Amino acid sequence: MSAPPRVPFGDLARTVARLRPEIDAAVADVLDNGWFVLGAQVEAFEGAFAAHSGAAHAVGVGNGTDAIALALRAVGVGPGDEVVTSPLSAAFTALAISQIGARPVFADVDADTLTLDPASVEAAITPRTRAVVPVHLYGRPANMDPILAVARARGLAVVEDAAQAHGASYRGRRIGTLADAAAFSFYPSKNLGAFGDGGAVTTDDPDVAARVRRLRNGGQTTRYNHVERGVNSRLDELQAAILSVRLRHLDADNARRRAVAARYDAALAGVPEVVGPAPAGDSLPVFHLYVVRSPDRDGLAGRLAAAGIGTAVHYPTPIHLQPAYGGAARAGELPVAEAAAESVLSVPIYPELDEAEVAAVAGALEAQAEPARGR
């Protein structure tokens, strides 16, 4: 009997190989042109990404963290303000808030979707609250309409953390167009990833877009004329050229992710011990990650490893319990997020998985049914 196939959790080398001819041509164009920062490639990508997102404007920046920070600054958040966000995310969501001198305040998440719970958001608002940053977690849109209703009733800005949701839709509307602004990351492992760091802010507000453009480039209106204290956070030409290539494939890649997710969903239908993602309802997720939950998360990870399946945990410690944010909320105050952090496990999902690998992951998940494990 042959050993089970080894399925790596991720393999970016496959992405490079699949797109190598297009990438080589795009990079060669940049090298031949000899212009490397804020040039024609960035402008072209910004236009294409705005069109794909359905937003009026897209502004390329240095990374996803800066995208959140600059978007918040552009909508009027500053030192001393509070921003309500999710504790179940990469810590960089909160770090971006701290970066501009504001204070992250954490609301709990919904038990099914693991995105921000609108009622918890409302309870977290204080007189110092200036904005809400919902996270579209794992490629699944947050429940935006009730979050927006809570925010609008109190005059709060809303900035989407869309770092994991390129191309996702919520009730027929693309992520990146639902609020005052949205922040995207192009970290290499994202659905739309650069071959280095990168990020973007999308918005329909021309004033927000203009301010992000100014802030990303040192606060300059024209060269050497700094009207405010900006930062140095510019998407470079090489990354923009690579992103333009990858953007052409994004819809097909997301469709492949959804197809793989459907195979995993079917495999888990008879496995009550392992809970897959909640049904999407009227949203269209893009499965940046396929995350299951099990009360025996570590045991599950070990059994999948024995079957040759790579896994990861996103995220093992809620942000409010991270040392950097000790005191933001006490253990037990955000019970849904804390319970999720102890049970979540991500399994391989990326467009380059072949059918044998998908079948191997699906089979390993299906084998977690209690009777099967007892054989």
Over residues 179-196, the mean pLDDT reads: 98
d(C-alpha 232, C-alpha 79), whole Å: 19
For the domain made up of 12-244, the CATH class stated in words is alpha beta
| pLDDT tier, 328 (very low <50, low <70, confident <90, very high otherwise) | confident
Q: How big is the chain, counted in residues?
A: 375
At residue 5, the pLDDT reads 58
Per-residue pLDDT tens over the stretch 243-270: 999 999 999 999 999 999 999 999 999 9
Query: Are the folds of 12-244 and 250-374 the same?
Result: no
The pair of three-digit structure tokens given for residue 112, joined into one six-digit string: 């099914």
Query: 10 Å Cβ neighbour count for 343?
Result: 17
Q: Could you tell me the residue ranges of all domains in the chain?
A: 12-244, 250-374
Amino acid at 203: T
pTM of the full structure = 0.96
| Whether pLDDT at 4 is above 80 | no
CA angle (193, 195, 196) in 5-degree steps: 95
The answer to whether the CB of 244 falls within 8 A of the CB of 48 is: yes
On the question of pLDDT at 375 being above 50, the answer is no
Q: Are 362 and 267 in contact (CB under 8 A)?
A: yes
| Selection from 151, 85, 157 nearest residue 115 by Cα | 85
- How are beta strands 129-133 and 82-85 bridged, if at all? parallel
What per-residue confidence (pLDDT) applies to 327?
78
* % of the chain beyond a pLDDT of 70: 97
- The upper half-sphere exposure of residue 215, i.e. CA atoms within 13 Å in the direction of its Cβ, equals 24
Give the torsion sign (CA, 306, 309, 310, 312).
Answer: negative
Please determine, for residue 297, whether its predicted confidence score (pLDDT) is greater than 70.
yes
Q: What is the CATH number of domain 250-374?
A: 3.90.1150.10
User: What confidence tens digit (pLDDT) does each residue in 97-150 have?
Assistant: 999 999 999 999 999 999 999 999 999 999 999 999 999 999 999 999 999 999
